[in-house]
Amino acid sequence: MMRFSSIISEAWRNTISGTSRLLMTASILTVLIGGLALVHVITIGNVLRDTYQWRNAGASIHILNVPGGINGKLCESLSRIEGIHASGALRSGPTLTLAQLPQNPMSSLEVSPGMEKVLHVEAPHSQTRGGGMWVSSDLAALLSDDSSPSSLILHTDSDTSAPNIVPVSGIFPQVEDGRAPIFARNIVIPVVAHGLFDACWAEIWPESSALEQLLTYAVVNGQDDSAQAETQLFNTSLGQHFDVTKRLGPLPFWFYTAAALCFAQIIGIAFSWSRRLEGASALHAGVDRLSFVIQLTVEYGFAAILSWTVLLPILFFTSTASGIIQWNLWVSGILIVSASYLCGALGVILGALRIQENQLFALFKAR
């Protein structure tokens, strides 16, 4: 067997001289294998983008309304169940008069602590969360003295001689994208989860009718209408249901992978077969078969590395087209490409093993 360094040198000389058809092989691999990997990534990416849009719009938030019939502690405990990412209770609060809007008394809502995750409440700027009230982003802009939400202070003038100054400890997004305007102009007051509430809110994902039914667990005993109570979505503009399993189920992911593996192996066999005259000549000249097989595989590897280098950023940008970095999606595309190229290397080996020395004269006459 030839020394490994000599095999690499010979493969490199064939590559830079154009004998191995580096650019053509890399182009075919990129178009065929990369195309199938991109179809896979784009197809799943579309479902993930719709999933993100569904959850970001609040369509995964389910609401069970039973006025005066929701146990706050039981509602809060639902978030411990797998699939229920957050839960909290809500009830009507007192009417507040603000110094900024003295002619327009504002209603308020009292919520249990779990609503912080349901509403995605954030502290103004980098402030630490403390005691105070929550307001929507729209109301924060209306009440703020300047453009900085950190300066928001709510003044209740029930006692005009000594107004009660309450800081805003949280701001949550309020977007007019179809979600119910329950919090648009209401001040939200976080309270302990004691007593009875009017509604139980829960973010459920993935969608599950069984988990949705568990919201009735928070209804106190003795409520005659608890059996008839139905949940509703916080945002219905995107529809009533989003079953990600049904969306992904009929997609032929196995086909993309299988096709990529088959195409890669065919390309590998064709790569070796196109070099059969050179192979038969090398075998006739005394080069051992193992050295020749390794040489062809290395030359194919150069083309695969070039193609892989081109596809790596393309797959990355495709997997982040929704604005969110989907690392698992990117990795899945890379795995399809990498597995296909390894399968192509196997095709190169199989094709090289079929080249025989006694074919030299027939191949020479037919060239």
Over the stretch 224-242, which tens digit does the pLDDT of each residue have? Answer: 555 557 789 999 888 888 8
- pLDDT of residue 201 exceeding 80, the answer is yes
pTM, two decimals, is: 0.74
Task: Taking residues 146-161, report their average pLDDT.
Answer: 48
Secondary structure letter of residue 275 according to DSSP: T
Cβ-based neighbours of 98, under 8 Å, separated by 6 or more = 104, 106, 143, 154, 155, 156, 157
Instruction: Please report the pLDDT score of residue 56 as a whole number.
Output: 87
Residues 277-328 have pLDDT tens digits of: 776 666 656 678 888 888 899 999 999 999 999 999 999 988 886 666 678 8
% the chain with pLDDT above 70: 81
Between 359 and 105, name the one with better pLDDT: 105
Q: How far is CA 84 from the centre of its chain?
A: 18
Q: What is the CA radius of gyration of the chain?
A: 33
Instruction: Please report the pLDDT score of residue 148 as a whole number.
Output: 42
Q: Categorize the per-residue pLDDT at 193 as very low, low, confident or very high, splitting at 50, 70 and 90.
A: very high
Amino acid identity of residue 227, one-letter, is A
Q: Categorize the per-residue pLDDT at 28 as very low, low, confident or very high, splitting at 50, 70 and 90.
A: very high
Instruction: Please report the pLDDT score of residue 286 as a whole number.
Output: 64
Distance CA 114, CA 88 (A): 4
Residues 123-145 have pLDDT tens digits of: 776 455 556 788 888 887 777 65
Can you read off the two tokens belonging to residue 147?
A: 């453009």
Distance CA 121, CA 100 (A): 23
Instruction: Please report the pLDDT score of residue 219 as a whole number.
Output: 92
Q: Categorize the per-residue pLDDT at 198 as very low, low, confident or very high, splitting at 50, 70 and 90.
A: very high
Cβ-based neighbours of 202, under 8 Å, separated by 6 or more = 61, 62, 64, 75, 78, 79, 84, 86, 87, 88, 118, 211, 215
DSSP string, 319-351: HTTTSS--HHHHHHHHHHHHHHHHHHHHHHHHH
